[in-house]
Every structure is written in C-alpha cells, then in structure tokens.
Amino acid sequence: MMESSSPLPLPARVQLLLPEWMQHFPDPHTVCASDEDKVALAIELSRRNVDAGSGGPFGAIVFDAEGRIVAAGVNRVMPQHTSLAHAENIAFMLAQQRLHSARINAALAAPVTLATSSQPCCQCYGAAVWAGIDRLLIGARAEDVMALTPFDEGPLPADWIGELQRRGIQVVRDLHRQAACEVLRAYGESGPRY
Amino acid sequence: MMESSSPLPLPARVQLLLPEWMQHFPDPHTVCASDEDKVALAIELSRRNVDAGSGGPFGAIVFDAEGRIVAAGVNRVMPQHTSLAHAENIAFMLAQQRLHSARINAALAAPVTLATSSQPCCQCYGAAVWAGIDRLLIGARAEDVMALTPFDEGPLPADWIGELQRRGIQVVRDLHRQAACEVLRAYGESGPRY
C-alpha cells in the first residue's frame, strides 16, 4: 500500500457509521425529562453496543432543552478503525452535521445536554469544550472505567470540571453510576472484544 | 426539524471531506526526510487552506518512518459544520481508515509522525494520545495561535508534553515557528472567515 514508486491517491473522505441496530433504538420520539433518565438511556446504549458486538461499552446522547434526542452515539473505535470514534464524539458530530452548526448550542435553545455512560476520556473531554453543550451528565467515573475495563482515560487538566464550568458547561456526575459500572464490569469480565 | 410530533429519524452517518484542491496537493509521491520539511509541508497546507477559503489556518500530516505521507488534513470546522474537524483529527482519521487500524503505529513501522502547523488544542491533544503516533512535530505554539487569531486552545494538563512522552510520544516544538506564525497573522489580520 505504501510503495513509493506508485503510491495510492491520498485519502480524502472520513466516514463513520452507527451500527444497524441503532436504526431501531433509541426511538426518535423519546423524551427524557430528568438528568437521571438521560443518563439511563446512554447506559442502555452502552449495554446494547456490547451485546451486539458493535463496539466498546460506551454510549452518549445529545439532548435539546426539551429532553428530545438530537443525536445518539456509541463507541465504534474497532469496527470503524478510528480512535476518534468514541460515543461522545460521534454524538457531537452527528448532532452538528444534522443541525449544520459547528456549535450545537448556536443552533438550539439552551440548555443543550450531553449525557454519557462514562466520564469522557482526554479526547472527548477536549471535544466537549468546543462542541457547544451547556450541560454534561456522567454515569461512571474515570476510575470506574480504569478499574473495570482495559481502557485508559488519559491525561486531563487537574481541575477538569472547573475548566468546563468556566466555559459555561455544568458537570453532573454519578448519575446511575452503579448501573453504568455494571455494563463496564460485564464487558471487562467477558473478555473485551473491542 | 425538532418537532416532537413527527421527528426525523436520528442521524446515523458522519462524513468529513477534504477540500477539492487537496486532490492535487500534496503530491502522494512526496517524501519529507527531515522534521523541518515535514512541518513546512503542514504549514503550506495551512496557507493554502486559508487562500482557498476552505477552512481555518491549520494543516497536519501523518508520515510513515520513511517520510512518506500516509494522510494529510486541514481544518474543516466551518465548511463541514463539525467542531471535531481540526486538521490533526482529520489526518488521524484518514490515516486510520486507510490502514484499517485504529492505532496508526499498529499498522506501520515506527516511528509514525504527526507534523502540525500549530500546537494541538485540547481536543486534538487528547486525540493524539490514542491515535498511534510516535512523534509529534509542531510549528507555532499555542500562545502564537491565541495572540494572532481569535482561536482559543483550551485547557491542557499542566505537563502536557511530559504526559505524551510518558506514553511514548516524542514532542518537538518551534519547527519553522515564524513561518507558521506568518500564516496565522495573515489570517487574523484579514478578518477571519472560519
């Protein structure tokens, strides 16, 4: 592939696809009024992603101010050969491309919320700074992910919550933390495939 | 678009495209032997991206151990409505999807290098941790970006270089720093479009 004598044209298109089962879940009519309900749905995505063998044990959803789903994502790193294909990043990109807006809350009334089954890693943390969200709801903590799965969470600023709050992003942790940990534990114990 | 009575199906596909002028530049036969040459080419991408009006003043290239281009990216945030579409992220994703490997250096002999016209922001910093590179070559510093353009670089770990080095990623800064700054300055002074 990399012969210098006749190299291929350089690649010019990135594509990321959700798994087929997400054509049927979540229902686009879903309304999640509470913070707990929003994270519970993200955790349910993480569980179904593991059960389907379609990626790692992580789910994330962008909600509008009324609790309606703008876009939902799951981890697709291994199936799509893309280290950026974490659940949060996919949800951000799908929401932005749907709305034709590089900042989600430039196109929707505040507050825009990201609910995620586990604390964002260093990569999705940085993406959350620019994505245009007003609230970040988290299930499992980074230490849960690292205790229960092979995944590293990477280096964060020491005051990562404060850095988000100073940029207008409220952080709420430990929502259904145990339920999120159950998915992580089951994944870790079953022999990770992704 | 967001009517709860009859919502659209949830989005399921992310697509990111390079600008058309990149069909002709850089030449896939290019070999950049030195660190300086690698960053110079990333800076040239940043310059052409501004001149073409196809995104912000940033370019990045993944090189293999022989100095051949695996994938090249430019900033596409505003044209593609995607806050993740920074030059570094696009180069990472294009390289990984070309190689069918979520870690670039799992598919290529070491060292794999990312050359970028400016220091990665918080988002691309985190992505660099997982992308599978061995070396990170940087033109302009974060303080240059923030002094010369409207862009913020976001929160990083205090010892961001050390965190990368502890994960096996060597960092080299200030390669053609002034040339990189010239592109940033011209962009900032012309009235940013992206």
B57-97: pLDDT as tens digits: 999 999 999 999 999 999 999 999 999 999 999 999 999 99
| CA pair distance B91, B103, nearest whole angstrom | 13
> Residue A8's pLDDT band (boundaries 50, 70, 90)?
confident
pLDDT value of residue B133: 98
Q: Can you tell me whether residue B74 is helix, strand or coil?
A: strand
Q: Tell me whether B3 touches chain A (CB under 8 Å).
A: no
> Residue B5's pLDDT band (boundaries 50, 70, 90)?
low
The answer to whether the CB atoms of B99 and A108 lie below 8 A apart is no
Residue A4 has pLDDT above 80, yes or no: no
pLDDT value of residue B184: 98
Q: Which residue has the tokens 């044990």?
A: A57
- For residue B177, give how far its alpha carbon lies from the nearest alpha carbon of chain A (Å): 24
> Residue A1's pLDDT band (boundaries 50, 70, 90)?
very low
Q: Can you tell me whether residue B167 is helix, strand or coil?
A: coil
Among residues B112, B122, B116, B164, which one has the least CA distance to residue B138? B116
- For residue A22, give how far its alpha carbon lies from the nearest alpha carbon of chain B (Å): 8
Mean pLDDT on A34-41? 98
pLDDT value of residue A28: 97
The tens digit of pLDDT for each residue in B110-161 reads: 999 999 999 999 999 999 999 999 999 999 999 999 999 999 999 999 999 9
| CA pair distance A155, B160, nearest whole angstrom | 8
B-chain residues near A108 (CB < 8 A): 2
> Residue B8's pLDDT band (boundaries 50, 70, 90)?
confident
Residue A85 has pLDDT above 80, yes or no: yes
> Residue B7's pLDDT band (boundaries 50, 70, 90)?
confident
Q: Is the peptide bond before A26 cis (omega within 30 degrees of 0)?
A: yes
The tens digit of pLDDT for each residue in A118-171 reads: 999 999 999 999 999 999 999 999 999 999 999 999 999 999 999 999 999 999
The answer to whether the CB atoms of A163 and B155 lie below 8 A apart is yes
Q: Tell me whether A91 touches chain B (CB under 8 Å).
A: no
Q: Which residue has the tokens 């995104």?
A: B55
The answer to whether the CB atoms of A10 and B72 lie below 8 A apart is yes
pLDDT value of residue B1: 47
- For residue B1, give how far its alpha carbon lies from the nearest alpha carbon of chain A (Å): 9
Span of A11-25, B15-29, B180-194 with lowest mean pLDDT: B180-194
**pLDDT above 70 coverage of chain A, percent:** 95
Q: Tell me whether B191 touches chain A (CB under 8 Å).
A: no
Residue B54 has pLDDT above 70, yes or no: yes
Residue B157 has phi, psi (to 5 degrees) of: -60, 145
What is the residue-averaged pLDDT of chain B?
95
- For residue B194, give how far its alpha carbon lies from the nearest alpha carbon of chain A (Å): 11
- Claim: this prediction has a pTM higher than 0.90: yes
pLDDT value of residue B182: 98
Mean pLDDT on B22-34? 97
Residue B6 has pLDDT above 70, yes or no: no
pLDDT value of residue A7: 75
A58 and B43 in contact (C-beta within 8 Å)?
Answer: no
